[in-house]
Amino acid sequence: MKKYLVIYEWTGQNYSAYVPDLPGCIACGDTLEETEKLMQEAIALYIEALKEAGQPVPEPTTQAKQIAVTV
């Protein structure tokens, strides 16, 4: 099992998400929960398509960490 970093963004009307390690793998939904579910499906389909095309599946390498700052 591989774990890919997913970036979620509030667009002002809905959520969008993307996986930096899987270019073009995106999803959007009305809620964060819906977007997460759709993103899981998108990742699975993305990897399946790569395998069917005989392409390598990129390893998850992107990391994220929140840093607190005083403003």
pTM, to two decimals:
0.90
Structural domains in the chain?
A: 1-71 (3.30.160.250)
Please give the pLDDT value at position 34: 98
Please give the pLDDT value at position 1: 87
Q: What is the Rg, in whole angstroms, of the alpha carbon atoms belonging to the chain?
A: 14
Q: What is the pLDDT of residues 3-62, one digit of tens each?
A: 999 999 999 999 999 999 999 999 999 999 999 999 999 999 999 999 999 999 999 999
